[in-house]
């Protein structure tokens, strides 16, 4: 059986915590898309960790962690991440890397920086991890697959010279930057070969056999629906699909095996990078939510950048859940809202004088103004809901907030996270299920 843990919004919804928690019952955890451009923050008995490439299952002895073919594989980041967790006392994790995964090259990172520089004020707010140039090369069929490291050296050199001829044209004429050298790229690949060799595996075959043996597999998504290149806020999106459906491709498993899709929604909104963010808030109101948000503030796990903040957006989340094919919603970081007297919730978008609850394409989205409904907070009933373990014990206004959101988005909220740790979870049965 396969479960997917994915995001409904712009990312940073708390997927890492939910995956880490569900990982207890999983045999295998797979990353199926994205690269080291985003991170999960996980708090467990070993400490607090920001993971960028490793699946959140690496902290369990019983799970195998897999980097699927759909991932943008940055081999030195993977290597250093394994070392850093082992140095903090985590037992050596069992890791497999797909022989069909492609490699993020040092020049992808440079091209990402050069392009952002060139675009100046019109940049995408990239994390400059090389992800867009990487996926462009993958689909232009000039990427390097892990398997190629273990093939014929002459063919590899031949391919390098073809690839860098076009890269160097761009470097010389568009970016006016130093050129790439064939020998250096070859050496880089050979270094990667040594680092990745112990982990390489025919992952789709491994997963096929695991499914036949009845193993429990968890797919771990990065970012969220609104960053999907097809269904998100194009062009301010990421470069690989963030949807659970892509899990089948990026891991190499049959689509019908994905039985449960747990979509993670945060109880308020946050986003990084550029792009329309209808329920965004500013000034002191935003600063306070940012400071109190998540576990130690809403700052990027990879970049440390302050995240943009906003109220919960039912329009975006309803759409985000629909595009994921949600069976269950995990509603996270609810504890953070305890300080508010009243909580605005965005229930519609006004576009050209008409109110809609359906998430539009980017050009219309740019005109959207939020329509808010204001719900009472639970500050006076019980401001700190951390430590509560059953739904009934939550303050009444807090339950009203959950039930209001559930009705608006139309997908069952079956898990509520009220703190960053594994044990901070409340299961609930929903009338929508
Ligand atoms: P991800 O990329 O979706 O895994 O999300 P991030 O790790 O970037 O952001 C989630 C942040 O919120 C992390 O710092 C988590 O430790 C924290 N977190 C997750 N769930 C909860 C929760 O229910 N309450 C609080 N206060 N923090 C949470």
CATH number, position 115:
1.10.300.10
**Confidence band of 300 (pLDDT split at 50, 70, 90):** confident
> In terms of domains, do 183 and 328 share one?
no
> Does residue 335 belong to any structural domain of this protein?
yes
Residue 12 annotated in active site:
yes
**Confidence band of 5 (pLDDT split at 50, 70, 90):** very high
Q: For the residues 6-19, what does the mean pLDDT come to? A: 93
> Whose Cα sits closest to atom 6 in ligand 1?
12
Atom number in ligand 1 closest to CA 42: 16
> In terms of domains, do 318 and 261 share one?
yes
Looking at 197, 230, 257, which one is the last position of a domain? 197
CATH number at residue 34: 3.90.170.10
136 pLDDT higher than 70:
yes
The rounded Å distance from CA 22 to ligand 1 centre is: 15
Tell me which of 258 and 38 has the higher pLDDT: 258
Which residue among 420, 421, 425, 426 has the greatest number of ligand 1 atoms within 8 angstroms of its CB, and so is best to mutate?
A: 420
- Name every protein residue with a CB atom under 6 angstroms from any ligand 1 atom: 7, 11-17, 38, 40-41, 43, 294-295, 301, 332-333, 335-336, 417-420, 424
Q: What is the pLDDT of residue 402?
A: 98
Q: Residues with Cβ < 8 Å from 67, sequence gap 6 or more?
A: 30, 31, 53, 55, 73, 78, 95, 96, 97, 98, 101, 199
> Does residue 92 belong to any structural domain of this protein?
no
Q: For the residues 306-318, what does the mean pLDDT come to? A: 97
Q: What is the pLDDT of residue 427?
A: 97
> In terms of domains, do 371 and 416 share one?
yes
**Confidence band of 22 (pLDDT split at 50, 70, 90):** very high
> In terms of domains, do 127 and 183 share one?
yes
> Does residue 158 belong to any structural domain of this protein?
yes
The active-site residue out of 20, 40, 228, 328 is 40
> In terms of domains, do 389 and 247 share one?
yes
Q: What is the pLDDT of residue 302?
A: 65
Q: What is the pLDDT of residue 301?
A: 67
Domain range for 150? 102-197
In tens, the pLDDT along 164-173 reads 999 999 999 9
Share the mean pLDDT of the chain: 94
> In terms of domains, do 186 and 223 share one?
no
Q: For the residues 279-286, what does the mean pLDDT come to? A: 97
Looking at 145, 178, 197, which one is the last position of a domain? 197
> Does residue 86 belong to any structural domain of this protein?
no
Q: What is the pLDDT of residue 107?
A: 97
Q: What is the pLDDT of residue 283?
A: 96
Q: For the residues 73-88, what does the mean pLDDT come to? A: 92
> Does residue 25 belong to any structural domain of this protein?
yes
> Whose Cα sits closest to atom 14 in ligand 1?
295
> In terms of domains, do 37 and 165 share one?
no
Of 54, 151, 120, residue with least CA distance to 93: 54
371 pLDDT higher than 90:
yes
Q: For the residues 67-86, what does the mean pLDDT come to? A: 94
Which residue among 41, 238, 264, 425 has the greatest number of ligand 1 atoms within 8 angstroms of its CB, and so is best to mutate?
A: 41
Which residue among 56, 242, 263, 333 has the greatest number of ligand 1 atoms within 8 angstroms of its CB, and so is best to mutate?
A: 333
Q: For the residues 227-231, what does the mean pLDDT come to? A: 97
| Bridge partners, residue 95, by sequence | 65
37 pLDDT higher than 70:
yes
The rounded Å distance from CA 332 to ligand 1 centre is: 7
Q: What is the pLDDT of residue 210?
A: 98
414 pLDDT higher than 80:
yes
Which of 16-25, 199-208, 328-337 has the lowest average pLDDT?
16-25
Q: For the residues 95-105, what does the mean pLDDT come to? A: 97
> In terms of domains, do 176 and 210 share one?
no
Looking at 149, 180, 197, which one is the last position of a domain? 197
> In terms of domains, do 170 and 259 share one?
no
Atom number in ligand 1 closest to CA 301: 8
Q: What is the pLDDT of residue 56?
A: 79
Q: For the residues 345-365, what does the mean pLDDT come to? A: 97
> In terms of domains, do 141 and 236 share one?
no
> Whose Cα sits closest to atom 28 in ligand 1?
420
Which residue among 5, 8, 9, 17 has the greatest number of ligand 1 atoms within 8 angstroms of its CB, and so is best to mutate?
A: 17
> Does residue 117 belong to any structural domain of this protein?
yes
44 pLDDT higher than 70:
yes
Total domains in the fold of the chain: 2
Q: Phi then psi for 257, rounded to 5 degrees?
A: -75, -15
> In terms of domains, do 223 and 334 share one?
yes
The rounded Å distance from CA 18 to ligand 1 centre is: 9
The active-site residue out of 12, 137, 313, 424 is 12
> Does residue 90 belong to any structural domain of this protein?
no
> Taking a C-beta distance cutoff of 8 angstroms, is the pair 229, 239 a contact?
yes
> Whose Cα sits closest to atom 12 in ligand 1?
294
> Does residue 93 belong to any structural domain of this protein?
no
432 pLDDT higher than 90:
no
Which of 12-21, 138-147, 337-346, 353-362 has the lowest average pLDDT?
12-21
Q: How many CB atoms lie within 10 A of CB 253?
A: 23
278 pLDDT higher than 90:
yes
Q: What is the pLDDT of residue 289?
A: 97
The rounded Å distance from CA 420 to ligand 1 centre is: 6
The rounded Å distance from CA 293 to ligand 1 centre is: 9
Task: Enter the pTM of the model.
Answer: 0.94
> In terms of domains, do 276 and 405 share one?
yes
């Amino acid at each position: 059986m396969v479960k997917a843990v994915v995001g409904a919004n712009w990312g940073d919804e708390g997927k890492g915590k939910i995956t880490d928690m569900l990982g207890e019952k999983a045999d295998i955890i797979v990353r199926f898309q994205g690269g080291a451009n985003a991170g999960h923050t996980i708090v467990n008995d070993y400490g607090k960790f920001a993971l960028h490439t490793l699946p959140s299952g690496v902290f369990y002895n019983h799970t195998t962690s897999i980097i699927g073919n759909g991932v943008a594989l940055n081999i030195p980041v993977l290597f250093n991440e394994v070392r850093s967790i082992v140095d903090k006392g985590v037992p050596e994790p069992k890791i497999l890397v797909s022989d069909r995964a492609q490699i993020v090259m040092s020049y992808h990172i440079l091209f990402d920086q050069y392009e952002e520089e060139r675009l100046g004020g019109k940049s995408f707010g990239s994390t400059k991890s090389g992800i867009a140039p990487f996926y462009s090369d993958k689909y232009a069929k000039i990427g390097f697959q892990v398997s190629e490291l273990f093939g014929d050296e002459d063919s590899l050199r031949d391919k390098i010279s073809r690839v860098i001829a076009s890269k160097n044209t761009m470097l010389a004429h568009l970016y006016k930057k130093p050129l790439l050298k064939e020998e250096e790229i070859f050496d880089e690949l050979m270094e990667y070969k040594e680092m990745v060799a112990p982990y390489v595996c025919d992952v789709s075959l491994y997963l096929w056999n695991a499914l036949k043996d009845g193993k429990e597999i968890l797919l771990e998504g990065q970012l969220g629906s609104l960053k999907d290149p097809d269904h998100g806020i194009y062009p301010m999106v990421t470069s690989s699909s963030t949807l659970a459906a892509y899990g089948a491709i990026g891991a190499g498993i049959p689509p019908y095996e994905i039985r449960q899709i747990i979509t993670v929604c945060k109880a308020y909104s946050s986003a990084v990078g550029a792009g329309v963010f209808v329920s965004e808030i500013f000034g002191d109101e935003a600063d306070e939510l940012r400071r109190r948000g998540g576990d130690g503030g809403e700052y990027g796990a990879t970049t440390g950048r302050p995240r943009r903040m906003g109220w919960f957006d039912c329009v975006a989340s309803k759409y985000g859940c629909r595009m994921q094919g949600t069976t269950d919603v995990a509603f996270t970081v609810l504890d953070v809202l305890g300080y508010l007297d009243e909580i605005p919730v965005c229930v519609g978008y006004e576009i050209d004088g008409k109110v809609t609850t359906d998430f539009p394409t980017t050009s219309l989205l740019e005109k959207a103004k939020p329509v808010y409904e204001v719900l009472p907070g639970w500050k006076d009933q019980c401001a700190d809901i951390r430590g509560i373990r059953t739904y009934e014990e939550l303050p009444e206004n807090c339950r009203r907030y959950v039930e209001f959101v559930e009705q608006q988005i139309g997908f069952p909220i079956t898990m509520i996270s009220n703190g960053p740790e594994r044990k901070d979870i409340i299961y609930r049965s929903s009338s929508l299920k």
